[in-house]
Amino acid sequence: MKMLLNSRILDVPHGFSTRVGGASQGPYSSLNLSWSVGDESAAVEENVRRFAKAAGLGRPIITARQVHGIRVIAPPRRLESEGTLPVPTEEADALVANDQDRAVGVKTADCVPILMHAPDAGAVAAVHAGWRGTRSRIVKEAIQKLRDLGAEPSKLRVAIGPAIRACCFQVGNDVAEEFRKGFSAAVVEHRQGQTFVNLALANRMALIESGVAESNIEDLARCTSCEDQLFFSHRRDRGVTGRQVSFIALA
Ligand SMILES: [Zn+2]
């Protein structure tokens, strides 16, 4: 099993981390990349070291304090050396970059990580889309930011990473109704008296609405909840679990 998964649609440095190959124990076993979920910091430090080696970036991965909103930031250059995965300072749920100084990333354990590359603008974006961000179409906000930097949406290349899928993402009737109204009945599934939402499909619909070509979207189609050997899952692990990091940078 691999520490990093990749998308065929992206030809810039990027990756979706798994839980494989780290030093953490117990519910954080083993490649937990978050300092704020109760894991031992020495283990996380070692994980970041191994992850950095596998990612081979040679520059920091900037993340944000994720709050299930729709704010997109372009993190500023930082002068000080701050390691591979500095502690985030700004609240946001999507990040863009249009130079090679840094990678941008998001941390997830069920929420949908979405990576974008705008080859025409020389820009990249990392998006954290939980059910709230998906419902609020955070991908549209990220694409708007990329357009501001000169990107044409039809040229965007987009990868949808490991997340909880319609097989496992059971919701109440109120959430299901919001998704049916906000997207279409296709994103809501009913099985054995239970209701499930397909977050990846909702995001795909929002991407296409924003002008992304369907052929430029790759969905890795991996379920964090089903694949317990490969991924942390907040829902499956009842909140006590690690985090994956998904990152992208310009070549
Ligand atoms: Zn599943």
Q: State pLDDT tens for residues 200-214.
A: 999 999 999 999 999
Measured in angstroms, how far is the CA atom of residue 218 from the centroid of ligand 1? 18
pLDDT higher than threshold 60 for residue 239: yes
Measured in angstroms, how far is the CA atom of residue 223 from the centroid of ligand 1? 5
- Cα gap 179→198, rounded to integer Å: 9
- Cα gap 208→38, rounded to integer Å: 38
pLDDT in tens, 11-48: 999 999 999 999 999 999 999 999 999 999 999 999 99
Measured in angstroms, how far is the CA atom of residue 142 from the centroid of ligand 1? 27
Question: Tokens in use for 42?
Answer: 């020495």
Measured in angstroms, how far is the CA atom of residue 200 from the centroid of ligand 1? 12
Query: CA-CA distances (angstroms) from residue 125 to 10, 43, 72, 121, 183?
Result: 12, 28, 9, 12, 23
Which residues, at least 6 apart from 195, have a Cβ–Cβ distance to it below 8 Å? 170, 171, 172, 173, 176, 188, 189
Provide the whole-model pTM.
0.98
Confidence at residue 1, expressed as pLDDT on a 0 to 100 scale: 82
Which residues, at least 6 apart from 212, have a Cβ–Cβ distance to it below 8 Å? 143, 153, 154, 156, 158
DSSP state of 108: E
Measured in angstroms, how far is the CA atom of residue 227 from the centroid of ligand 1? 7
What would the mean pLDDT of 170-194 be, rounded to a whole number?
A: 98
Measured in angstroms, how far is the CA atom of residue 166 from the centroid of ligand 1? 7
Measured in angstroms, how far is the CA atom of residue 188 from the centroid of ligand 1? 15
- Cα gap 160→205, rounded to integer Å: 12
What would the mean pLDDT of 85-101 be, rounded to a whole number?
A: 94
Contact yes or no for 32/137 (Cβ under 8 A): no
Query: CA-CA distances (angstroms) from residue 171 to 47, 95, 165, 196, 198?
Result: 33, 28, 12, 6, 10
Residue 116 bridge partners (DSSP): 125, 158
CA 231 to chain centre: 13
Contact yes or no for 64/91 (Cβ under 8 A): yes
Measured in angstroms, how far is the CA atom of residue 110 from the centroid of ligand 1? 10
- Cα gap 22→29, rounded to integer Å: 7
Measured in angstroms, how far is the CA atom of residue 107 from the centroid of ligand 1? 19
What would the mean pLDDT of 1-16 be, rounded to a whole number?
A: 97
